[in-house]
Structure 1
Amino acid sequence: MADTEFDIIIIGSGPGGYVTAIRAAQLGFKTAIVEREHLGGICLNWGCIPTKALLRSAEIYHYMQHAKDYGLSADNVGFDAKAVVQRSRAVSGRLNMGVGGLLKKNKVQVIWGEAKLGKAGEVIVANTTKAPMQPQHTPPRGTIGAGTYKAKHVIIATGARPRVLPGLEPDGKLVWTYFEAMVPPEMPKSLLVVGSGAIGIEFASFYQAMGVDVTVVEIVDQIMPVEDAEIAKIAQKQLEKRGLKIKTGAKVTALKKSDNAVTATIEQGGAKSDLTVDRVISAVGVVGNIENLGLEALGVKTEKGCIVIDGYGRTNVPGLYAIGDVAGPPMLAHKAEHEGVICVEKIKGLDAHPMDKNKIPGCTYCHPQVASVGLTEAKAKAAGHEVKIGRFPFLANGKAIALGEDQGLIKTIFDAKTGQLLGAHMVGAEVTELIQGFVIAMSLETTEEELIHSVFPHPTLSEMMHESVLDAYGRVIHM
């Protein structure tokens, strides 16, 4: 007979959920995780990982097209859209199976089905109505199913889904969300992307690299609205140079569908124009999956479509917690993972530090890449800081020039009085791999002095991080 009582039950097996389950098991908790559809959640199966596989194919295709820039030749360069998608799905499938193996290794019980909260400490699981999307997403061996389960602590990690705006409702054929955009049966000739956040810009970058005529519409005055304005401006210039068409301060007011095309009415600066494209991607954000969980009956506090928590994942109901996208922005996989670890370590009674959202990095994997952590220049000034700002361009870095990637910028923001690193912002090649250096610096409360005295290896892109700090204090060498 299946075991029905646990110390901790986690609802949802996305990055937040499965990492939380593993950490809970490491801490000695008898742990179960409930999943209705696919281990690894949206990030692993339909988000972070497979999109990077698509973008990698686009990146290599771009380099092949520009082989002569490196003294090489590549004739008759082309691609197989189905094979590109198949590679992306295979990457996802491999990691999906890996999550199942990790849960088994750590003796986390997987419960397959749809969860709903009952009375305090009770989780009712019904048979799932969600069919696995791929063969490898079938329930792993040792899985148990529908029933009533009890736990001293219940953690909600149900993630988020695409936001739907009136008039932009996805239909799966002509108007896509990221689900359909990830598995196109064939490449469209033209595409409209509504929204220029990370999801929108990444898909726009992918499809443009594959030869699609792409237009991006963003309602505010800059693309990637959460990023530093200076960095966003540089990114936009480079994206447009590669062929993207970008309309900021604009909105789509209507969509008119025909058999195999969509005509969008776009309003910008008081003027309206029509644009006919093969497909539309709606990338206007995501909303938390808080429905049908039984939150209302328990009196769980929610706000703006998300569950309200404190710095340790605790809701207003004792014994009930929430982490990840369902608990609010920033809606990022690494935030969910860390939030979950904090949550179970606090339950264990360890000296867990509350989540500091100001130290969570953000990355956008378009070409050029964008990465950041901490305050933008505008937010630092608005918070009352007197700032020192350093900048160092890729065109002055030897490694960047050798790579043929000399367009970009590293920008650092310091408090002028204390030397505290308030924020770091980057645009250019591989900046998503560089940003962690500044994340660590901020976590260690590093000032400009330690960064200036640190020795960075040569020749590397990371030297630009050092030079940017030097620039903030009038000591830059190579510029």
Structure 2
Amino acid sequence: MADTSYDVIVLGSGPGGYVAAIRCAQLGLKTAIVERELLGGICLNWGCIPTKALLRSAEILHYAQHASDYGLKIAGKIEADLEAVVKRSRGVAKQLNQGVTHLMKKNKITVHMGEGTLTGPTSLTVKGEKGEEKLTAKHVIVATGARARDLPFAPADGKRVWTYRHAMTPPEMPKKLLVIGSGAIGIEFASFYNDMGCDVTVVEMLDRIVPVEDKDVSAFLEKSLSKQGMTIMTGAGVEALTVSDKGVKAKIKAKDGKVSETEFTHCITAIGIVPNTENIGLEKLVEMDRGFIQIDPYGRTKAKGLWAIGDCTPGPWLAHKASHEGVTTAEAIAKELGNKDVQPHPLDRNNIPGCTYCHPQIASVGMTEAKAKEAGYEVKAGTFPFIGNGKAIALGEAEGFVKTVFDAKTGELLGAHMVGAEVTEMIQGFVVGKTLETTEAELMNTVFPHPTISESMHESVLASHGRALHI
């Protein structure tokens, strides 16, 4: 009979779970992972990665349609082949799923495919292809993630009302699309379908789109997306959806209180997430708040030996936060099991970057200017527009800016906010700076390479002291 006792069992194999398993294995712990669907979880198979593949296709299409801006002529009609675009995206997801399978083998992690249910803090049953298996461990990490929240009055049906999952493998190209919610997921799909030639309307309850971002970023993005032909409705709510074979009729209450009825061919709901914490034996074991498992800074729950990480715990609900928690929790477990060499570092929630891959891109870390003032800081903020950056102009991407927020008294970097080309690749500079507890003086004294868009990061720091050179 196969051995079913381990040092650590990880329930869920998303970017939190599989990274936790790898780190446990690196630390010499006998590790197993339980997964009910696909290794790599939502992120690799249905989220972060395949959406970036879709958005890349839309970006290439956008450049091809604007070839004349670069002095180029493309003969013939440029059009999107939706089936081929989706096929490419699925291929990328499959490659990464196979990559995780390889990493599990390489690190000698046992994979149990099936539905896992906890029978205690450190034991579970797995119902899968092999029937029912009973597994035990010294420690269990719950990494079950989350799923899209449904509209109570119009649950997703995959035909007319979609979640991100349906939007990734669309049965047909929408002609007129309603996107409810303007967080990262809503805005990325709105951007993708808009670039693909669809008529897109975004409805956001709050008074601005991408509401977690700095208000200057929200205002800039709204202007940019409107210029690209999108209809943006903020301070608005969808009061009812009538779904038929032909499409979706939406009752939308606008900012001014007027209710109008508009017809769409399809609707994407992107109104948040629900943690996957029901019916897996957690109820009597852990403390939960709205379904999210409550943990200490290392991932411990109130049940000894039971830990939790990622989207089934309090936010921000981001893949890189889950991976970081996975490493921290693995090291905390190793320390409890007697490893004297590991020094786990708890997560600093103020230093988790956020990236949105719409067109233009958004990236940020730390406090917005408003949040810093709310927290009682005396603030120095600097903004530098891409129009003052040589590389951005040469690329034909002069739309965007970098904004930095500092504590006027100590010079501490409190936050950084960017919108424009490739900002998702640049934000890590400020994340590293914040981790090293940098001040504006050190950033000012740093030599940034020329010509790069990253020079605008330097200039925004200079601008916070009225010292910007190129504007």
Q: Is the contact between residue 59 and residue 209 of structure 1 (CA under 8 Å) also seen in structure 2?
A: yes
Any idea what SS the aligned residue of 2:140 has? strand
Pair 1:154 & 2:140 matched: yes
Tell me the residue number matched to 1:4.
4
Q: Distance in 2 between the 1:120 and 1:369 partners?
A: 42
Residue matched to 1:176:
162
Q: What amino acid sits opposite 1:54 in the alignment? A: L
| 1:81 shift after superposition | 0.7
Per the TM alignment, residue 165 of structure 1 is displaced from its structure 2 partner at its CA by: 2.4
Write the distance in 1 (CA, Å) between the matches of 2:308 and 2:88.
34
Does the 8 A contact of 2:221 with 2:360 survive in 1? yes
User: Does 1:67 pair with 2:35?
Assistant: no
Q: Which runs of 5+ in 2 are unaligned?
A: 336-341
Is the 2:251–2:260 contact (alpha carbons within 8 Å) kept by the matching residues of 1? yes
Note the C-alpha offset of 1:18.
Answer: 0.4
Distance 2:192 2:417 in 1: 23
Partner of 1:137: none
Q: What TM-score does the superposition give when structure 1 sets the normalisation length?
A: 0.96
Corresponding residue SS for 2:393 = helix
The alignment status of 1:290 with 2:282, answered yes or no, reads no
Structure 2 equivalent of residue 127 of structure 1: 128
Distance 2:321 2:121 in 1: 27
Distance 2:318 2:172 in 1: 29
Taking the aligned partners of 1:284 and 1:202, their CA distance within structure 2 comes to 13
Give CA-to-partner distance per residue, 1:213-270, whole Å, 9 cap, x none.
0000000000011101111110111111111110000000001122221110000121
TM-score by length of 2: 0.97
Which whole-Å CA distance do the structure 2 matches of 1:355 and 1:5 have between them?
30
> 1:95 maps to which residue?
96
Note the aligned Cα RMSD (angstroms): 0.9
The amino acid across from 2:284 in the alignment is A
CA distance in 2, matches of 1:16, 1:258: 39
Shift of 1:145: 6.5
Residue number in structure 2 paired with 1:33: 33
Match of residue 219 from structure 2:
233
SS at match of 2:283: helix
Q: Which amino acid aligns with 1:93?
A: K
- Whether 1:353 and 2:353 are equivalent positions in the alignment is no
* Stretches (4+) displaced over 6 A: none
* Correspondence 1:449 to 2:449: no
Give the letter for the 1:462 counterpart.
S
Supply the distance in 1 between the matched residues of 2:128 and 2:379 (Cα, whole angstroms).
56
CA contact (8 A) 1:112 1:146 kept: no
Give the secondary structure class of the aligned counterpart of 1:296.
coil
**2:460 aligned to which of 448, 468, 472:** 468
Contact 2:121 2:140 in 1 (8 A): no
8 Å CA contact 2:159–2:171 kept in 1: the answer is: no
Unaligned ranges ≥5, structure 1: 129-143
Quote the offset at 1:169 in angstroms. 1.1
Note the alpha carbon deviations across 1:326-359, whole angstroms, 9 max, x for none: 0121100000000010011112222211111110
**1:423 and 2:415 correspond:** yes
* Alignment partners' CA distance in 2, 1:368 and 1:278: 26
1:92-136: CA deviation from partner (whole Å, max 9, x where unpaired): 0010001000010000000111111112311111127xxxxxxxx
Q: Shift of the alpha carbon at 1:146?
A: 3.1
| Cα contact 1:161–1:286 (8 A) shared by 2 | yes
Residue by residue over 1:131-153, the C-alpha shift from the partner in whole angstroms, topping out at 9 and shown as x without a partner, is xxxxxxxxxxxxx7631101010
Q: Deviations over 1:154-190 (max 9, x none)?
A: 0000000001121131111110001110011221111
Find the residue that maps to 1:215 and give its secondary structure. strand
2:19 aligns with 19
| In structure 2, C-alpha distance between the alignment counterparts of 1:186 and 1:172, rounded to whole Å | 11
Aligned-pair identity (%):
63
Q: Which residue of 2 aligns with 1:185?
A: 171
2:191 corresponds to:
205
